[in-house]
Each structure stands twice: as C-alpha cells, then as structure tokens.
Structure 1
Amino acid sequence: MGVREYPSRWGWRKTNEVAARVRRTANPMRTLRLWLTCELQRPPQRRHKRSRLGDGTAVKLRAERPDHVWALDFQFDEIAARRRLKLLSVIAEHTCEAFAIKMDHSIDADGVVATVEAIAAARGAPSHLRTDNSPDLVVGAPRDWCRLSGTQTAYIEPGTPRENGHIESLNRRLRDECLNIEDSANLTETRVVIENRVLRLT
C-alpha cells in the first residue's frame, strides 16, 4: 500500500505546522513538494442531505451572548496500555471558549454534573445546555441539575452531530492535532498533553 491510499485531512500548510511542532523546524516548500508528490490531497466528497426529524429546536437555537448556550459532548480514545479513555468537552458557543476537557477512564452522569457545576460556580449557569442523547447527559443527575439551576436543555436529534457543530469542530481538531499524534503512556500524561494543547484549539 502506498502513501496515496491514505490522503491527509489537512492542507499542506496545516501539515507543515504539525511537522514544525514535532520536529521544531520545517521547510514549507519541502513540505508542499512532498505533499503534492505523495498525492495527499483528499478528493472532494459528495455530501448527502438527510431528512430532519422532530421540530428542530436545537437547530433553531443560536447563542446570542456569552454563557447563553453551552455545549457538551463525549469522545473516546485509548492510552498505550490499551485502556479506554473517555473525554468530556464543555464549550461556550458564543465565544467558542473551551471551559473544560475532563478525561478519565470512566465519566458517569455525576461526573458530568460535577464538571458543569464547577464551571457554573465561577461563571453562573448557562441559559441553555446543548447535548446529544447520551444516557449520561439526558437522564438523572444532569437533568436534575438543569432544572434546579434554571437551565433549559436542547437535545439534538439522534444521528445528527451537525446540530452540535461548535463542539464537534473542537473535538475533531482535538483528535486530529492531539489524540491521533500523541501516544500517552497513562492518564496523567494524557492530561498534561491536552492541557498544553487546548489553548491552541480555542
């Protein structure tokens, strides 16, 4: 199998930026030549429209001011020991500021509430909380916290991550620029790496 069978998701400028970060130095023109020679350009992909379900409440909601809408989402990874790693991201949609990226081997509903509550203690509770339909986000402790804090929920339709686009963008960049590059030996090392990178993603 050749390199061209694995086209890059990045352009040559982003590729050079990552190369410079890893090697401390990189020649942009050499990166461009290699990128073109190896045919790393990703061919354009056709996007198919999906029919929308429900009343589209989450889609119509737009953040109009800071702390108007916060978004939450999970993603998963593995450390070198093949243990699963679960990450919870919390972002303010209006400012695109990442409040927290909590990571552990397991994060349940109580862990979600503890993370959101710590942020709200410093900033105040948001008007709306946008999440998907993960069991750790829609039932039990998170729903009770929203009710007690006066925060309204905006659940996206199942299978439509584009309705939670701000945090999906953050998670995609976190995976491309950190999780897919770094091979951490343990949870503590992963936390240090992500804390050092998260400021570059927001």
Structure 2
Amino acid sequence: MNQPRSSQRYQSEPPDDEPALLKQILDLVRRHPRFGYRRIGRMIQADGWKVNLKRIYRLWRREGLKVPRKQKKKRALGTGANACHLRRAERKNHVWCWDFIFDRTETGTTLKWLSVLDEYTRECLVLKVDRHITSEDVINVLAELFKTHGVPEHIRSDNGSEFVAQAIREWLKQIGVETLYIEPASPWENGYAESFHSRVRDEFMNCEIFENLRSARKQTDSWKEFYNEVRPHSSLGYLTPRQFSQQCISSSRTPSAFQRYTADTQLLS
C-alpha cells in the first residue's frame, strides 16, 4: 500500500455502555460537586454497574473533572487527655460526640443545628435544627437516643455552655455516661465532630437555601438520611455509615439509672 507504519493508528471504539456510564458520572458530579472519582465510582458500583475505578478515573480525566483543592493550615495535635486521637472509639456505642453548627434562613434568621455522631461507625444519630437549643432540649434529645440506640460509655464535646451545664453533667453522671471535655480553644481534639460538620457545611448548607425553619427541618432530615444510607464513607472502606453500623457488634447498654429515669418520665407524662 506504500503507507509507512508510523502513519497508521488504531482507532479504538468505545464500549456500547460508555455513553450511559458517562451520563451517570456527570449526573452524580452535578448533584455532588465535592465528591471525587473514588466516591463517585463506589456510588456507581452500588447502583449495579460492573465497572472498576480505573475506568471511572479514565473517563474522569477525559472529561476534565476534578474537585478544587482546599489549602488548609496544619496545626499540631493537642495534648488534652480527652482528645479523639488519644481516647479512640473501639466499638459501636463506645464514644459519641456532639457539637453545634450555625447557618441562616433566606431572610437572615439564625438557625442552630445539634449533631450527635457515633465516632466508630460515623453514623449521624441526630441532626436537629431549631432557632434555639437549650440544655434542657439537649437532655431530651439524648434521652430519646438512649431509648433507641442504648446508652454509650462516653460522650465527647467542647466546653460550650449547653454541654457543661450543671443539669447535663449531673444527669449524665447519674446514668453512667462519662463526659470527655476537650481542652478549651482546641476544636481539633473533637475531630470527628469537626470533620462531620465540614461535610455538613460543604455538601449541604452551602448547596441549599433555607426559606424558613420548617423547610430547614425537612431538608435536614433528607440530607441526614442520604448521609447515613447512600453516601459512601472513605474511612469505612466506602461503605455507608448505616451499612458499617449493621456489621458492628454494639456495646450499648441500658443502666438501671436510665431505666428509672424513663419510668419516672412516663409517670409524669
């Protein structure tokens, strides 16, 4: 043919399912712009696609997709005795953590979220939003959680007024829950709560407009369900927190003091 071999190129043909696969990748990227190719790939595999991460990465690079990197300053880990890197959760319901996060409605009204997280399973047990949350509200939330999930051995928090309130400390002490207060001005010692709140801020609050409190509650419930049951978690081998939790042996317990508290509450109601 008088054609030099160097001028000939093999023209590859994409697999028949590639357009549909690419469409789903782009759809997931639009819905979850902060997810990388690994998490997107795991979600696609969970939907039934027989595809490996190398192929996802090839399409990802071809389409020029990427998650903008955030430059964060590094801080030395604290030396507080109750820091999360020193007193780690060893099983389900061993250590819970809680904290508050704030945002505003479309009209500027302040909203306050209370989150409670199981540090071992990363499952969000509560994500409650209201205009104001008092120490009494916190006790009521914990009481409902203890009825549903059992009583944890420890609960970690910062030194916020709601958490160090005398009523909460005495109530938890009576029930047999040890409070792990981190060092003042050391949020990195409550790292699991801080990490979870960064996900809440990045993937939920920065993407939603809250018209009012009622709307915020509905949106919060929907995102909490998505986080626990759909969103793959890299620290859990890309299982969802609910899937990982179901595989774990729980150390939940129901101390006699909490049983008496429950009985007294039912009598008063």
Q: What's the TM-score, normalizing by structure 1?
A: 0.78
Judging changes above 3 Å, is the alpha-carbon distance between structure 1 residues 105 and 95 closer, same or farther for their aligned structure 2 residues? same
Number of the residue aligned with 2:74: 47
Distance 2:68 2:203 in 1: 18
- The runs of 5 or more residues in structure 1 that have no matched partner are 1-13
**Alpha carbons 2:82, 2:189 under 8 Å: kept:** no
Judging changes above 3 Å, is the alpha-carbon distance between structure 1 residues 170 and 18 closer, same or farther for their aligned structure 2 residues? farther
Distance 1:201 1:21 in 2: 12
Aligned length: 178
Aligned residue among 158, 166, 170 for 1:140: 166
- Cα drift, residue 140 of structure 1: 2.2
Distance 1:190 1:119 in 2: 21
- The runs of 5 or more residues in structure 2 that have no matched partner are 1-24, 34-58, 229-269
- Cα drift, residue 147 of structure 1: 1.0
Judging changes above 3 Å, is the alpha-carbon distance between structure 1 residues 67 and 77 closer, same or farther for their aligned structure 2 residues? same
Distance 1:82 1:130 in 2: 31
- Cα drift, residue 107 of structure 1: 0.2
1:103 has 2:135 as partner: no
Distance 1:58 1:87 in 2: 23
**Alpha carbons 1:79, 1:183 under 8 Å: kept:** yes
Q: Give the secondary structure class of the aligned counterpart of 2:74.
A: coil
| Letter matched to residue 177 of structure 1 | E
1:20 has 2:31 as partner: yes
Number of the residue aligned with 2:200: 174
1:65 has 2:65 as partner: no
Number of the residue aligned with 1:123: 149
Distance 1:125 1:152 in 2: 11
Q: Give the secondary structure class of the aligned counterpart of 1:58.
A: coil
Distance 2:63 2:136 in 1: 46
Number of the residue aligned with 2:64: 32
Judging changes above 3 Å, is the alpha-carbon distance between structure 1 residues 49 and 21 closer, same or farther for their aligned structure 2 residues? closer
Distance 1:136 1:31 in 2: 48
Q: Give the secondary structure class of the aligned counterpart of 1:57.
A: coil
- Cα drift, residue 43 of structure 1: 6.5
Matches within 5 A, 1:60-99: 60-99=86-125
**Alpha carbons 1:15, 1:31 under 8 Å: kept:** no
1:185 has 2:217 as partner: no
Judging changes above 3 Å, is the alpha-carbon distance between structure 1 residues 112 and 57 closer, same or farther for their aligned structure 2 residues? same
| Letter matched to residue 82 of structure 2 | T
- Cα drift, residue 29 of structure 1: 6.3
Judging changes above 3 Å, is the alpha-carbon distance between structure 1 residues 120 and 32 closer, same or farther for their aligned structure 2 residues? same
Question: Percent same amino acid at aligned positions?
Answer: 33
- Cα drift, residue 166 of structure 1: 1.4
Please provide the CA RMSD for this pair: 2.6
Q: Give the secondary structure class of the aligned counterpart of 1:89.
A: strand
User: Could you say which structure has the greater relative contact order, defined with CA pairs below 8 angstroms and 6 or more residues apart?
Assistant: 2
Q: What's the TM-score, normalizing by structure 2?
A: 0.59
**4+ residue runs over 4 A deviation:** 27-31, 43-46
CA deviations on 1:80-102 (whole Å, 9 max, x unpaired) are 12100000000111111111101
For the pair shown, the structure with the greater C-alpha radius of gyration is: 2
1:195 has 2:221 as partner: yes
- Cα drift, residue 201 of structure 1: 2.5
| Letter matched to residue 187 of structure 2 | P
Q: Give the secondary structure class of the aligned counterpart of 1:72.
A: strand
Distance 1:147 1:41 in 2: 45
- Cα drift, residue 44 of structure 1: 4.5
